[in-house]
Amino acid sequence: MSTIDPRQSSVRRMALLCFALVLTVTTLSAFMRLSAAGLGCADWPHCYGAALRAGAEPALAQTGVVLARMLHRLAAVTVLVLALTMAAASFLRSPRLQREGWMSLGLIALALGLAVLGRFTPGAKMPAIAIGNVLGGFAMLLLAWRIHRGAGPAARWSPAALALMLLLIAQIALGVLVSAGYSGLSCTGFPGCGEAVDASLALLDPTRIPVFDPTPPIHPQGAFAHLLHRILGLAVALAVLFVAIGSWRRGQRSPAILLVALLALQVALGLSLVFAELPLVSAIAHNLIAALMLAAASEHTRS
């Protein structure tokens, strides 16, 4: 039976705290981003659509957004301090904890990169900036979780689990394109969009700033991204079931149950977003569950 070095155990505990803080940061970031996009406005999407058409910045002076921004910065700084501490604990004493150390350096690099990107984030209307923020935050989340779990290298993941994680990353990026591109109400029907969809690939360009009239149909050019998000969601659901069945057969029943439970919750949240016309709470929860699904998918290994 292998024993864990006390220093390694300490690094893993710090990584768990780092994971919780990054999860907090990504959730607060989603709240700020989605509130600024107008999902929290009483007359969404008119409140933001009018501001966008006039070229004005969305109002960010709401008490909840201001408080979220303060907590976001505090949590982000704490994450950076924790990552620096983990890297120092891993490399500055012998024997060196190579895996934990290099992954901690990855956390530091991502944190600094997001700090630079954050300079361009407030008031940004380009979906690429929001996508970069979300994917960077989720990458930090996954790194912190893997340091905490202390599992072997990525080569131990099953091919199905790797495919699932790649699908999840693509789905997350597409979901951010939908929200940051103000396409949440572009599809008026379910499971289809209810109208003819312009399938031009140019509409998926994340550097393209959306310009639209805030009267229904809401931003019809965003329907293609929204429809693809739904289709890819079906692919993710099938991949989750395939991975969960494989893990169940290998005796990994808890990870299998957790992954399927998160999928069921995510589907329910997605439906509520469509039928309840984008309630802010559901949108934030949708972002949170996506992060947890990515971490849960990394638990499915061959051994």
191-216 pLDDT per residue, tens: 777 777 888 888 888 888 877 665 65
Band (pLDDT 50/70/90 cuts) for residue 39 is low
* Percent of the chain surpassing pLDDT 90: 43
Per-residue burial over 138-162, b = 16 or more CB atoms within 10 Å of its CB, e = otherwise: bbbbbbbbbbbeebeeeeebbebbb
Q: Tell whether 15 is covered by a domain.
A: yes
Q: Tell whether 303 is covered by a domain.
A: no
153: region left, alpha or beta (phi > 0 left; psi from -120 to 50 alpha) = beta
Q: Tell whether 302 is covered by a domain.
A: no
Are 137 and 26 spatial neighbours (Cβ–Cβ below 8 Å)? yes
Q: Tell whether 84 is covered by a domain.
A: yes
| pTM higher than 0.75 | yes
Band (pLDDT 50/70/90 cuts) for residue 57 is very low
Q: What one-character DSSP code corresponds to residue 210?
A: P
Q: Tell whether 109 is covered by a domain.
A: yes
What is the tally of structural domains in the chain? 1
215: region left, alpha or beta (phi > 0 left; psi from -120 to 50 alpha) = beta
Lowest mean pLDDT among 25-39, 99-113, 218-232: 25-39
Q: Tell whether 249 is covered by a domain.
A: yes
The residue with greater pLDDT, 302 or 203, is 203
Write out the residue range of the structural domain in which residue 190 sits. Answer: 6-297
Q: Tell whether 16 is covered by a domain.
A: yes
pLDDT digits (tens, 9 = 90+) for 248-300: 998 888 989 999 999 999 999 988 888 887 788 888 999 999 999 999 998 88
Band (pLDDT 50/70/90 cuts) for residue 61 is very low
Q: Tell whether 49 is covered by a domain.
A: yes
